[in-house]
Amino acid sequence: MGQGQQEKVATSLAGAVSEEISASLAPVDAELERRYPGDPGGRQPVHTVYVPGDVFAADTIRSWGDRALAALDEHAPDAASFAAVLGLSDELAEPVHARVRAKLEREPIEDLRVDFEDGYGPRPEAEEDEAAARAARLIAEAYENGTAAPYMGIRMKCMEAPVRDRGIRTLDIFLTGLMEAGGLPDGLVLTLPKVTYAEQVSAMVRLLEEFEKARGLEPGRIGFEIQIETSQSILATDGTATVARMIQAAEGRATGLHYGTFDYSACLGVSAAYQASDHPAADHAKAIMQVAAAGTGVRVSDGSTNVLPVGPTAKVHDAWRLHYGLTRRALARAYYQGWDMHPGHIPTRYAAVFAFYREGFEQAAARLARYANRAGGDVMDEPATAKALSGYLLRGLDCGALDIAEVARLTGLTRADLEGFAAPRRGDLTVSAK
């Protein structure tokens, strides 16, 4: 064919064929958009801290930060000693240690849940009423004066019959208190524990609908996390994945699935000495949670360890190494959030998170820059990989592991650019980079 001649293009199908197929798949297209809207965007906290309702106070967040700093000063007073405990490389030792200290001074807790369930227990009615009202007042004041964590809320009692009415009342008092204090904060998070049937999720939806109507709120304003703590929440008696039903039963209100390490392990008969987030039973449950939540906009959180970093330095170091290792293991498995039960866990939470993002930062930035510029390299990335790379960098920025200046320097991209790659249109993921 001579230069400048156009290739002859021929087809065999009538245009109506494509139109008919598109019409037949229109319901599927709509269902995909409804059930799998993709990641909601925005920040996901790296952890959730649980504080019993009777312990929560105006200075809780600052107190946890100060106690975490004191633990560092006592048991690993400099970068070299902290790195030696955790096995950090010489390259990472100083930046991780410095960023951990800065984080503990600036924002020691990213997500705080005032607990009215297991951490609080049964109390006289009037006492729990007062504690719920106090939690609302203190959280409203924290958001007003700038001392709040980015995310705050409560864990109510579950929807099982013995405690259902108490849980509903506590939630009502708490939400009403926030409304009376000026409205629901943007960082509000609620946790529904010990869910076994999708109908309990539906009941929570109805409850929130009624509150929104009573207070004139926009429908769907209040979301909630579903806590996975029972075998029935993973596998139903008919062999189906109950957790997938729960996500749908939430009607778009589910914001997260939180794994409950010890209740779930006990439910399966795991001996107390072996109840941990890296037990095979835990891996199985979280893998099902992860697949069920993928693409739905619901995020998955790992559980906690009950080995506390307290006592003599050698014991603290052992607990730190355990917590650090479990956190790094979870991050590698794409569980970007977990629970922390003690101020001494906070240094190793942030050390693990910061090391995870800083170790892979330069490679991820270089790959994303090549993709964005359509440049060559030894790896050919797809749009889905670009989505993962940009999501990785954004999570690193959100928690303080990375700075926007260094990300921009290596990628040539702004935060808006990163967000564009992290949340592409559905069709964009099916087209390879040219």
pLDDT in tens, 265-290: 999 999 999 999 999 999 999 999 99
Q: What is the pLDDT of residue 431?
A: 34
Contacts of 196 (CB under 8 A, 6+ apart): 160, 230, 232, 233, 242
**Bridge partners of 48?**
339
Does residue 3 have a pLDDT over 70?
no
- Give the distance from CA 187 to its chain's centroid: 13
pLDDT, position 326? 98
Residue type, 297: G
How much is the average pLDDT of 74-80? 97
Instruction: Show the DSSP H helices in 374-433 as ranges.
Output: 383-399, 404-411, 415-422
Mean pLDDT of the region 364-387: 78
- Nearest Cα neighbor of 143 from 104, 182, 103 is 182
pLDDT at 56: 98
Contact present, 212 and 176 (Cβ < 8 Å): no
Give the pLDDT band (50/70/90) at residue 203: very high
Predicted TM-score (pTM) of this structure: 0.91
In this predicted structure, the answer to whether residue 242 has a pLDDT above a threshold of 50 is yes
Question: CB–CB of 353/401 below 8 Å?
Answer: yes
Nearest to 352 by CA among 286, 417, 306, 305: 305
Task: Return the pLDDT at 4.
Answer: 65
pLDDT at residue 135 greater than cutoff 80: yes
CA distances from 70 to 76, 97, 255, 307, 343 (A): 10, 14, 34, 19, 10
Sign of the torsion formed by the C-alpha atoms of 101, 105, 110 and 112: positive
In this prediction, residues 226-248 reach a mean pLDDT of: 96
pLDDT beyond 70 at 378: no
Is 381's pLDDT higher than 90? no
Kindly tell me if the per-residue pLDDT of 244 is higher than 50: yes
Domains and CATH numbers, the chain: 47-359 (3.20.20.60), 361-430 (no CATH)
Looking at residue 427, its pLDDT comes to: 47
Residue 28 tokens, joined: 């599927």
Q: Which of the residue ranges 180-194, 218-232, 253-267, 374-388 would you say has the lowest mean pLDDT?
A: 374-388
Could you tell me which of 226, 215, 248, 230 has the C-alpha nearest to residue 285? Answer: 230
Rounded Cα distance between 325 and 86, Å, is 8
**Percentage, residues of the chain above pLDDT 90:** 88
Q: What integer is the mean pLDDT of 104-120?
A: 97
DSSP-derived 3-state class of residue 254? strand
Would you place residue 432 in the very low, low, confident or very high pLDDT band (cuts 50, 70, 90)?
very low
The answer on pLDDT for 377 being more than 90 is no
**Choice among 67-71, 129-133, 422-426 with the minimum mean pLDDT:** 422-426
Token readout for 420 is 């564009």
Report the chain's mean pLDDT, rounded to a whole number: 93
**3-state secondary structure (DSSP) of residue 140:** helix
Q: What is the pLDDT of residue 99?
A: 97
- The confidence score (pLDDT) of residue 423 equals 78
Q: What pLDDT is stored for residue 405 in this prediction?
A: 96
What is the rounded average pLDDT of the residues 304-320?
96
- Whether the Cβ atoms of residue 145 and residue 137 lie closer than 8 Å to each other: no
CA-closest candidate to residue 127, choices 189, 184, 169? 169
- Do 313 and 319 contact (CB within 8 A), yes or no? no
Query: Which among 395, 413, 288 has a CA at the least distance from the CA of 39?
Result: 395
